[in-house]
Every structure is written in structure tokens, then in C-alpha cells.
Amino acid sequence: RCADKGSDMRAMSEVELAVENSDVRRLRDLLGGGSLPNPDAPNPDGATLLVRASVRGSHACAGLLLEHRANPDIACGCYAETALQVCCARGEVGVAKVLIEAGSKINKADSLGRTPLFLSCLKDWPACTALMLDARAESERRSHTAHNPSASSQHSRPCWH
């Protein structure tokens, strides 16, 4: 049983490395070999693989992870953000499209009440904002600080670097 845990840890590390490097070919090989013990398990920083793909702007890695049953709506990190919130805060339109097509909840709020639309407006990413509006995101929804998506907020720092 300990050997199984060790091999799971090595496999996850290889998968994490492929995601971190946006190495789609390596990730495809690893996933094809059954090297994804739990796609929604957070790394030591609290980020899921899908969040890491969002940070890297790798829509191809995000798509592969979703094909292998990664949950797009897992909230993680210091503000309980989903992959869609993270990519909208970073202006990663390609990843946002993949997540929306996979059924990500477009109006899910983080622990501060910020939705993906709110974050894209806050960070001034017009393409992400347009994508969210086209997907019918709620534009009148307010954060916990009573701001709407077009307002600014003192809580603008995303957790993911």
C-alpha cells in the first residue's frame, strides 16, 4: 500500500510538472497511461491542476484535464476561487472558453463574492468580460463589498502568481 502511495505521488508530480510547463504532449502521454490519481487534489499551495493550467494560460492542458474528469468548479486557494475566476482575473480568454464549454458555473462567487465577470472587469480584461457577458453572466450581481462588476475593489489581488 505504501508503494502505491509513492507511485501516486510520483505520477502526480509528473502531471503537475507537465501542467506547470504547459507541456501538452507530456500531459497527454501521462493521462493516457492512467497517471492521474485525483485530478482535483490540491497541490501544497492549495491549487488544483485546473487552476494551475488557468494560471499558465494553457487552454490545451485545461481541456485535457477536463476530458479526464477534472471538476471545473472546485474552489481553492486563499479566496476559494475556481479555475474560471482565476483565468478571468488573468485575462486568459482561451482557458475561459474551454471552462465555459465544459459547463463551469459562470456566476459562482469566491469567498469575497467576486464572480468571473467581476474579476475580468476589475482587472480590465475586455475580451474576458465580453466572453462572460456572451455566456450570460449576471452583470448586476454584487460582491460581498457591494460592488458590481464594473466597480473597483480593495480586494483585487488574486492569490495565484
Q: Return per-residue pLDDT of the chain as tens, 161 residues.
A: 223 334 444 456 888 899 999 999 999 998 887 766 688 888 888 899 999 999 999 999 999 999 999 999 999 988 999 999 999 999 999 999 999 999 999 999 999 999 999 999 999 999 999 999 999 999 876 655 545 554 444 444 444 33
Q: What is the pTM of this model?
A: 0.81
| pLDDT number for residue 38 | 81
End-to-end CA distance of the chain: 35
Going by C-alpha positions, the residue among 33, 29, 70, 31 that lies closest to residue 52 is: 70
| pLDDT number for residue 5 | 39
Cell match 474579476: residue? 119
Going by C-alpha positions, the residue among 118, 56, 111 that lies closest to residue 89 is: 118
| pLDDT number for residue 32 | 85
Q: Per the structure block, which three cell numbers stand in for 2?
A: 505504501
| pLDDT number for residue 35 | 65
Q: Sign of dihedral through CA atoms 91, 94, 100, 103?
A: negative
* Residue 98 phi, psi (nearest 5): -60, -45
| pLDDT number for residue 7 | 42
Task: Tell me how crowded residue 28 is: count the other CB atoms within 10 A of its CB.
Answer: 16
Kindly list the distances between the CA atom of residue 51 and the CA atoms of 11, 33, 73, in Å, as whole numbers in the listed order.
Answer: 18, 22, 10
3-state SS, residue 5: helix
| pLDDT number for residue 144 | 53
| pLDDT number for residue 34 | 74
Separation CA 120–CA 129 (nearest Å): 5
Determine the longest span between alpha carbons in the chain, in angstroms: 53
| pLDDT number for residue 13 | 82
Name residue 76's beta-bridge partners.
81
